[in-house]
Structure 1
Amino acid sequence: MSAPTTATLPMRNAVWLHIFAGLCASLVSIGLARFAYTPLIPQLIQAHWFVQADVVYLGAANLAGYLIGALIGHPLGKRLSNPLVLRLMLVVATLSFFACAWALSFSWFFVWRLLSGIAGGAIMVLVASTVLPHVPAARRGAASGAIFLGIGLGIAGSGTLVPALLEWGLRDTWLGLGLVAAVLTAASWFCWPQSQPEPAVAVKASEPAAPEDLASGRGLRLLFAQYALMATGLVPAMVFLVDYVARGLDAGTHVAALVWVMYGVGAIVGPMVYGMLADHLGARRSIRWVLIVQALAVGALSITSQPWLLGLAVLIGSFPPGIVPLALARVHELKKHAHAQQVAWSRATVAFASFQALAGAAYSLIFNASGGHHQQLFVIASLALLLAIALDLAARRLR
């Protein structure tokens, strides 16, 4: 085996810097901007910043913003360049933490939670298509897992950092999160790729669709539907898990914080484990097995007792960040050209964000209408995941 040349070493270093920038982006915009809110819910209610119903709708605001960001991310990237949009969205997410340190009104808080979601959606659409074309094809699976590992690190960090910051008070907690986001934004600022890869040559409209194109189209439609149902299935634990343990099970905030830390441990492990599954089993088969495990775990959450919570939290925590590289691997299986992959991934993210936002609003309504009962939400989530499995089985029969 020949030693790496001096020309390849700077290129490898640049690739790792690009991956580091992607990791920072997913950590700030999703890992912290979304998931750090979950362990804050009981404190927001107990400190009388907002009533229970308002806190739930503020959580849904981030999900609605995520949908907006997923819709505008690709057009903004074409107009301004992907690296510039990614930097701007990191600044928006960082500012949202500082703005939320002052609960001036429900509307003020809602707008900033919405903006943080917009930043997350735009980053999710653009980050992979910005970084992965600069990574050797043989290593894109590992690179994808490393980029979205930031989500897991943010979840785990929120489970340990937020309780520590809460000792100083809610306002200082938001300011502390903003400081962390500012440091990560600054650290990644010059690590983004400076050039865009050349777009693939478009296929003429007059050319008939090849059989493999039709097959990939069917595969993508199945993936979009499954990805949307996955979004529906992950919302209850993502938003309500800490509140469920602390108030629903009356286990207290310390047990709830420990459960959220275990959720974060699962989130750290998820991207790499799911990526390895895709490499060994293929993305579609991996999605099937992951859905089965998650449907059982989320369903068990509604009837479990405290001793089982920690193990379930690890399993369920692996799901939100783990399915991202898994779905991306499926897109790469179905589409071979970079431009087609970017378009397909953008549509997949929009499907995910749409159902996530709708599910966030629906779960909030159900939760408030039921008088604050969490179990119904977990049952609905489990049924959504089972439906995603049924779609895959139906597609196999039709094929």
Structure 2
Amino acid sequence: MAIAGFCASLVGIGLARFAYTPLLPAIIQADWFTAPQASYLGAANLIGYLLGAMAAGGFAHRRGTATFLRLMMATATISVFACAWPVSFSWFFAWRLLAGIAGGALMVLAAPVILRRVEARQTGMVTGAIFTGIGVGIAISGTLMPLLLQYGLTASWLGLGAVAILLTLMAWRGWPSDDTALAASQAAAPSSASLSSARSRPVLIFSLQYGLNAVGLVPHMIFLVDFIARSLGRGVEIGAVYWVLFGLSAMLGPILAGLAADRYGARATLRVAYVLQAFAVAALLITDDPVCLGVSACIMGALTPGVVPLALARLKELLHDPVVRHRAWSGATATFAVGQAAAAYGFTVLLAQSGSYTPVFAVAAISLVIAFGLDLMVRSRT
């Protein structure tokens, strides 16, 4: 099951979403799309992520969770192949949207389905293993892209698609067989007391923090390679090197975050994460030093997937009922998706109007500072 979850996050998020980032400057330079169009296509994936996160529970309940997870992995894989040809902006937009829907559904359903069947002492390890797939996908895309781009953009997308097929097949039989019963239990109406707990002030503030954190992640997630390659004038190859650093750090981020949460508590670890991310984003406003760029890429790379197990651990601190916690997790994931989508489109417009990444990084850093400040408003719950 852990391998299936690992493959799901790798395909749905690591490849179907993050492989687009190192390809962005090449897509623009090859005249597949203009710079604003390419940015909007990146944002389309985040809109789809929101839709997938919101609708996943209902579809899974009707079709069965395991069947639905397989369908979403297949959809993400097909979307990668479909992007190998720039048929039109609408064609590309539709497939980037579908890739986002698949990624959002996999993020909402895969980990809770698996963790409900894992012993408490193994939760941290399994959670880290599942979300490490995001970082591995980033590292694969960053490593393969410079090689595949020598043969053209179409070959690059086809190569990623081949990897996605292999991973989808690896995960196919790994999902729990009693998925329909689980989906029904998750869809069951919780008690009024449980609903009250799920809507408590700490949970609502946490969801808002999670959404603000998403805003802070977007510049590195979508624009890092383009910022280094075009804005700093260092080329796609150098940009891909920083993307590999981002990906290698993302491979370690979930595991390290899970271990830190186990030892120091999810809330304390999240506070440190907010501060580190704010500094990492703000650093790009004041320096273009290669070492600083590398440190920024590593911090954001580790915490882009690392905040996910931290968020799950934080909800576990706040909510003890697994069904209610799953509902709260769906809501938090939707808030995260709203933050991502709004930031992606907002930053695209801001970039088009200003012609500079400075206001983009400034807004992202401020969002992370606000998330940290909100956490100080919530008293510790014993």
Q: Is this a same-fold pair by TM over 0.5?
A: yes
Q: Which amino acid aligns with 1:310?
A: G
Against the structure 1 CA distance between its residues 295 and 32, is the aligned structure 2 distance closer, same or farther, given a 3 Å change threshold?
same
Alignment partners' CA distance in 2, 1:320 and 1:259: 15
Q: Is the counterpart of residue 73 in structure 1 residue 56 in structure 2?
A: yes
Deviation readout 1:227-258 (Å, 9 max, x if unpaired):
00001100011100000001111112221111
Could you tell me which residue of structure 1 aligns to residue 285 of structure 2? 302
Alignment partners' CA distance in 1, 2:377 and 2:296: 29
Where does 1:42-121 land on structure 2 (aligned, <5 Å)?
42-121=25-104
Following TM superposition, by how much is the alpha carbon of 1:340 offset from its aligned partner in structure 2, in angstroms?
Answer: 1.2
Could you tell me which residue of structure 1 aligns to residue 236 of structure 2? 253
Among 117, 135, 145, which residue is 1:162 paired with? 145
Alignment partners' CA distance in 2, 1:378 and 1:187: 38
Following TM superposition, by how much is the alpha carbon of 1:79 offset from its aligned partner in structure 2, in angstroms?
Answer: 1.1
Alignment partners' CA distance in 2, 1:115 and 1:223: 28
Where does 1:207-218 land on structure 2 (aligned, <5 Å)?
209=193, 214=197, 217-218=200-201
Alignment partners' CA distance in 2, 1:377 and 1:203: 41
Identical aligned pairs, as a percentage?
48
Could you tell me which residue of structure 1 aligns to residue 339 of structure 2? 355
Among 345, 355, 358, which residue is 2:329 paired with? 345
Against the structure 1 CA distance between its residues 202 and 50, is the aligned structure 2 distance closer, same or farther, given a 3 Å change threshold?
closer
Query: Does 58-67 or 192-201 show the bigger shift?
Result: 192-201
Among 115, 137, 151, which residue is 2:134 paired with? 151
Q: Which amino acid aligns with 2:320?
A: K
Following TM superposition, by how much is the alpha carbon of 1:215 offset from its aligned partner in structure 2, in angstroms?
Answer: 9.2
Alignment partners' CA distance in 2, 1:216 and 1:204: 12
Q: Which amino acid aligns with 1:41?
A: L
Following TM superposition, by how much is the alpha carbon of 1:307 offset from its aligned partner in structure 2, in angstroms?
Answer: 3.0
Alignment partners' CA distance in 2, 1:102 and 1:215: 45
Following TM superposition, by how much is the alpha carbon of 1:395 offset from its aligned partner in structure 2, in angstroms?
Answer: 2.6
Alignment partners' CA distance in 2, 1:187 and 1:398: 41
Alignment partners' CA distance in 1, 2:35 and 2:190: 53
Could you tell me which residue of structure 2 aligns to residue 326 of structure 1? 310
Structure showing greater Rg? 1
Alignment partners' CA distance in 2, 1:251 and 1:262: 16
Deviation readout 1:122-150 (Å, 9 max, x if unpaired):
11010012111111111111111110000
Following TM superposition, by how much is the alpha carbon of 1:337 offset from its aligned partner in structure 2, in angstroms?
Answer: 2.1
Alignment partners' CA distance in 2, 1:202 and 1:66: 25
Q: TM-score, normalised by structure 2?
A: 0.95
Against the structure 1 CA distance between its residues 262 and 61, is the aligned structure 2 distance closer, same or farther, given a 3 Å change threshold?
same
Among 149, 156, 163, which residue is 1:180 paired with? 163
Could you tell me which residue of structure 2 aligns to residue 22 of structure 1? 5
Following TM superposition, by how much is the alpha carbon of 1:259 offset from its aligned partner in structure 2, in angstroms?
Answer: 0.7
Could you tell me which residue of structure 2 aligns to residue 3 of structure 1? none
SS of 1:35 mapped into structure 2? coil
Q: Which amino acid aligns with 1:258?
A: V
Where does 1:188-203 land on structure 2 (aligned, <5 Å)?
188-196=171-179, 199=185
**Does the 8 Å contact 1:216/1:334 carry over to 2?**
no
**Does the 8 Å contact 1:20/1:147 carry over to 2?**
yes
**Does the 8 Å contact 2:198/2:328 carry over to 1?**
no
Following TM superposition, by how much is the alpha carbon of 1:332 offset from its aligned partner in structure 2, in angstroms?
Answer: 1.3
Could you tell me which residue of structure 2 aligns to residue 137 of structure 1? 120
Q: Which amino acid aligns with 1:319?
A: L
Among 208, 220, 228, which residue is 1:237 paired with? 220
Following TM superposition, by how much is the alpha carbon of 1:355 offset from its aligned partner in structure 2, in angstroms?
Answer: 1.3
Against the structure 1 CA distance between its residues 243 and 194, is the aligned structure 2 distance closer, same or farther, given a 3 Å change threshold?
same
CA RMSD, aligned part only?
1.9
Moved over 4 A (4+): 200-204, 212-216
Following TM superposition, by how much is the alpha carbon of 1:216 offset from its aligned partner in structure 2, in angstroms?
Answer: 7.7
Following TM superposition, by how much is the alpha carbon of 1:225 offset from its aligned partner in structure 2, in angstroms?
Answer: 0.7
Q: Which amino acid aligns with 1:243?
A: D
SS of 1:134 mapped into structure 2? coil
Against the structure 1 CA distance between its residues 130 and 398, is the aligned structure 2 distance closer, same or farther, given a 3 Å change threshold?
closer
Q: What are the ranges of 5 or more consecutive residues in structure 1 without an aligned counterpart?
A: 1-17
**Does the 8 Å contact 1:303/1:375 carry over to 2?**
no
Q: Which amino acid aligns with 2:314?
A: R
Following TM superposition, by how much is the alpha carbon of 1:179 offset from its aligned partner in structure 2, in angstroms?
Answer: 0.8
Deviation readout 1:63-121 (Å, 9 max, x if unpaired):
00000000111111111111111100011101011111110100000000000000000
**Does the 8 Å contact 2:148/2:159 carry over to 1?**
yes
Q: TM-score, normalised by structure 1?
A: 0.91
Equivalences, count:
377
Alignment partners' CA distance in 2, 1:224 and 1:116: 24
**Does the 8 Å contact 2:46/2:341 carry over to 1?**
yes
Against the structure 1 CA distance between its residues 286 and 76, is the aligned structure 2 distance closer, same or farther, given a 3 Å change threshold?
same
Could you tell me which residue of structure 1 aligns to residue 267 of structure 2? 284
Alignment partners' CA distance in 1, 2:380 and 2:118: 37
Deviation readout 1:158-210 (Å, 9 max, x if unpaired):
110111111111001111111110111011101111014663886544xxx49
Could you tell me which residue of structure 2 aligns to residue 274 of structure 1? 257
Against the structure 1 CA distance between its residues 217 and 296, is the aligned structure 2 distance closer, same or farther, given a 3 Å change threshold?
same
